[in-house]
Amino acid sequence: MTISFTMINPGFISLIVDAGRTGMQEQGFSGSGPLDVEAFNFANWLCGNPEGNPCIEIAGDVHIRFEHSATIAVCGPAVSLAVNGEPASELATANLSAGDEVQVSQQLAGQRCYFAVQGAWQVPEIAGSVCTVMREKLGGLAGDGKPLHAGDTIQVVPAAQENISRILPASMLAPYDSDAPVDIIPAYQHDMFSSRVRATFYSSAYSVTPQSDRMGYRISGPAISSGFEAMRSEGINCGSVQVPADGQPIIMLADRQTLGGYPKIGVIAPYDLPRVAQSVPGTTLTFNPVDPENARGTWLLRQARIDNFFRNN
């Protein structure tokens, strides 16, 4: 037996994502995965799904109809959930009946939320993942990299555990509305940038531009340059901040290319990536250099808090 649900309105863009094609970059595949890993993991936890289970990454307002009873959850910043037009608790499990219709809406255009359904999604796996990468024409419902469209139906094999009830405290979410500087680990070609250029970067405000997508966020502000633009291509980590010839940095994200030849001034600390990923065009970002060991310690504390919550709830 399978349950099914149909996209009535997929919003601005809805993509099937999972944990991504980990370990496949050496073969030319993008790392992919969710832009906001924490919200993705929380949505699956609310449904009792295993880590990395597929979800729908949603940008915009969506409308979904369920042909069978199901357990769902939605997680992300400033997200609202309604069932049959009636408000439902966000950041909580919702148990649906056959025929129920779900509306998910977000306050800010451009932010992402994650829609989880309990069970094993029947979606083709390519290179170890079902994650949609539009640029590579891989993953998604038909394996061709296309986003979900109105009328698309997804099949899910129900889990043995049904009708669970979980609530996620809002305090567990990343500090999406924080205006604190984003921590950046000096790495890659950091020392190629002069002390004056580094001072400019760390003391200036940059704005997320509309020319931003899952591959990377372009930010606009005072131009910076290493003076060394011709270099061999090298692997790019998620969160790397590369600086092309125009001096306007690009924060590389989930669907980044595997190699890049621009100088990189550093890497966004992993605990600040969810906040950066949920930035919308016009968001102002400032940056703070942080010692790698301090960044590692902060990240480990954050992971320990999340792991402890999962174990005890």
Mean pLDDT to the nearest integer, 126-142: 97
Identify the structural domains of the chain with CATH numbers, from first to last. 3-172 (no CATH), 182-309 (2.40.100.10)
| pLDDT of res. 118 | 97
Query: Rounded CA gap, 182 and 271, in Å?
Result: 9
Lowest pLDDT segment from 15-19, 196-200, 223-227: 223-227
The more confidently predicted of residues 111 and 297 is 297
Under 8 Å between Cβ of 82 and 102: yes
Mean pLDDT to the nearest integer, 85-101: 95
Pair of tokens at residue 203: 């003391």
- Categorize the per-residue pLDDT at 228 as very low, low, confident or very high, splitting at 50, 70 and 90: confident
Report the run of H or E that residue 121 belongs to, with start and end: strand 120-121
Mean pLDDT to the nearest integer, 31-54: 97
**Looking at the chain, how many residues does it have?**
313
- Categorize the per-residue pLDDT at 109 as very low, low, confident or very high, splitting at 50, 70 and 90: low
pLDDT tens per residue across span 239-283: 999 999 999 999 999 999 999 989 999 999 999 999 999 999 999
- Categorize the per-residue pLDDT at 229 as very low, low, confident or very high, splitting at 50, 70 and 90: low
Query: Rounded CA gap, 64 and 53, in Å?
Result: 19
The H-assigned helical ranges of the chain are: 37-47, 195-203, 273-277, 292-311
pLDDT tens per residue across span 159-198: 887 679 999 999 999 999 889 999 999 988 999 999 999 9
Q: Judge if pTM exceeds 0.85.
A: yes
Closest CA to 108 of 60, 72, 70: 60
| pLDDT of res. 50 | 96
| pLDDT of res. 274 | 97
Provide the percentage of residues in the chain whose pLDDT is more than 70: 98
Query: Rounded CA gap, 97 and 92, in Å?
Result: 16
Mean pLDDT to the nearest integer, 2-7: 96
